[in-house]
A and B are shown apart, each in its own frame.
Chain A
């Protein structure tokens, strides 16, 4: 484009690498710490190079857990997080796509009020309705259950808006054509609309999976049993042990394991991730 000064590009490369180093440094430290001996770390003697305890630390973390506090193996926490994330992502997409379909392709009394009722939930994040929601979930006997973890978070104004927007761009001819073929509303939805929405659903899934996996405040409130806690809640409990010394290598290994699935999703499905992120913010 303009003047291609080699020097300026050189500077750009350096600044970007510094940025990458700053962004990556905390994670590097976590990985290094997860391979070292706890006594060294507790003394403030931690080395900046990987140690030799990788296998034993990760084995203990995944299958045993911390020896002091909760003793819950991290594989179980990851399983809980996975179930919750999948329920939230799939649930949000499922109920949003059908409600958007109803709102766009039908005309019925209270159509617009219903749309607005869904839309306004954008302004009611879980943080502003913590205790009353907790009380309802408790009254429904859903504490310490997957339903309690996922259901209150499963409505999605954003996803509904997104699908509504997308359906509006689908040409009317498609509906006419499938009507001529004798297809009813459910057939049209299943055979025509759903395949067309595949990319949108995939992009949304990537974002919602990360969102679900990273939930913290809600699972913290409604899980009391150790075997129901998610990895985000579990890691917090590991560093609150007042009776024992915090086992930092295990904590750091848990942090690495907590980051692994969502970071993998972002890196492996970068195109879908970027698309989903930009679209859900519109």
Chain B
């Protein structure tokens, strides 16, 4: 944890950590603490006074079917985004891992969407699938689909999942490719000598050896779907139609800002915090597994 050879100084180390510590305390811990305190308070209609109400905000929240729906929806979105993006990225990575001419070019052409911001992703996809002017919506309607994500909640959800998964392909591709390249070639050769066909080699050799990467990416993708989809949702559907694309983060935002219900918004923040702690904990466990596999 620490060097044997160090400097002696009483004040300098504090000066070195001070800027980071100041930022962290003012903009991270203080607001987090405020959120916890706020979640136990109930403000009157004018925001002038507030009273301590124990867990009332939390109880209200869990009695609210809309909140329960948002939880289920968020987990469903996460699952759908992770599975679709991971499987497509894995297919591409397995192909790009072969000794092909131009494999560097393929990599370049597949990783750049990482840099596209979520709100821009939202704009790109809503434009293509906009019910009245979208280029792809035209074909959907020609195929007989009654396509209108601005009115149909399930279609709106599908649109969000599609756009969010699209953005995450490049990230997953990159980590799968790195994972594949870390597998020694001799393992494949041994399997081939044993007579395993390519498909069988993939499921019995590659896939198990890749499982640490898959677990790691699964957690990262869930975190991504929880938090980074905010920009996509906000530009595409703004939670609508109705509440059919409201995720937990989006609900914190809209309840607090638009609804002005600070106690409930704070309670939601605290619940999200607990979820992040759990997810980060899982992530660290799997990262350890990845190293020692």
Contact = CB atoms under 8 A, between A and B. Distances in A.
Interface of A: 1-3, 8-9, 12-13, 15-16, 19-20, 22-27, 29-30, 33, 41-44, 46, 48, 94-96, 98-99, 101-108, 111, 114, 117-118, 121-125, 127-133, 135-137, 151-152, 154-155, 160, 167-168, 172, 175-176, 184-186, 188, 210, 213-214, 216-217, 220-221, 232-233, 235-236, 239, 248, 251-252, 255, 258-259, 262-263, 265-267, 270, 273-274, 277-278, 281-282
A236 B35 CA distance: 28
Interface in B227-284: 227, 230-231, 234-235, 249, 252-253, 256-257, 262, 265-266, 269-270, 272-273, 276-277, 280
B207 interface: no
A99 B19 contact: yes
Given A20-B110, A95-B23, A123-B273, A232 B231 contact: yes
16 contacts: A1-B189, A8-B198, A16-B100, A44-B133, A95-B23, A117-B25, A124-B29, A132-B31, A132-B33, A175-B7, A216-B117, A239-B126, A262-B116, A266-B112, A266-B115, A277-B174
B115 A262 contact: yes
Contact of B3 (A19, A105, A130, A221): A105
A152 B135 CA distance: 40
B107 to A, nearest CB: 8
A43 B133 contact: yes
Contacts of B38: 132
Nearest to A10: B100
A267 B27 contact: no
B249 A127 contact: yes
Interface of B: 2-7, 9-10, 12-17, 19-21, 23-35, 38, 88, 91-92, 95-96, 98-100, 106-121, 123-128, 132-135, 138, 166, 169-171, 174-175, 178, 185, 188-189, 192, 198, 216, 220, 227, 230-231, 234-235, 249, 252-253, 256-257, 262, 265-266, 269-270, 272-273, 276-277, 280, 287
- Chain A CB within 10 Å, residue with most, of B21, B107, B138, B287: B21
A140 B82 CA distance: 40
A152 B91 CA distance: 39
Nearest to B230: A217
- Chain A CB within 10 Å, residue with most, of B24, B216, B265, B266: B24
B89 to A, nearest CB: 9
Contact of B124 (A26, A48, A233): A26
Given A103-B17, A185-B12, A232-B117, A217 B192 contact: no
- Chain B CB within 10 Å, residue with most, of A42, A99, A152, A267: A99
A239 B269 contact: no
A267 B20 contact: no
Contacts of B220: 281
Given A16-B95, A106-B6, A136-B31, A160 B88 contact: no
- Chain A CB within 10 Å, residue with most, of B109, B252, B270: B109
Given A41-B133, A217-B230, A106 B273 contact: no
State the majority secondary structure of interface residues on B. Answer: helix
A123 B276 contact: yes
A42 B98 CA distance: 45
Contacts of B19: 94-95, 98-99
A175 B5 CA distance: 7
A180 B262 CA distance: 59
A8 to B, nearest CB: 7
A43 B30 CA distance: 51
A29 B135 contact: yes
Contacts of B4: 172
A17 to B, nearest CB: 9
Given A95-B19, A108-B14, A216 B230 contact: yes
A142 to B, nearest CB: 10
A154 B273 CA distance: 19
Given A151-B27, A239-B123, A239-B235, A106 B9 contact: yes
Given A19-B92, A102-B12, A128 B269 contact: yes
A1 B206 CA distance: 15
Contacts of A137: 27
Contact of B189 (A2, A217, A252): A2
B235 A1 contact: no
B256 A131 contact: yes
B111 A136 contact: no
Given A1-B189, A104-B3, A262-B116, A124 B32 contact: yes
A262 B167 CA distance: 14
B183 to A, nearest CB: 11
A217 B253 contact: yes
List of 8 A-B pairs having minimum Cβ-Cβ separation, nearest first: A102-B16, A132-B31, A262-B115, A214-B117, A132-B34, A106-B13, A152-B27, A172-B5
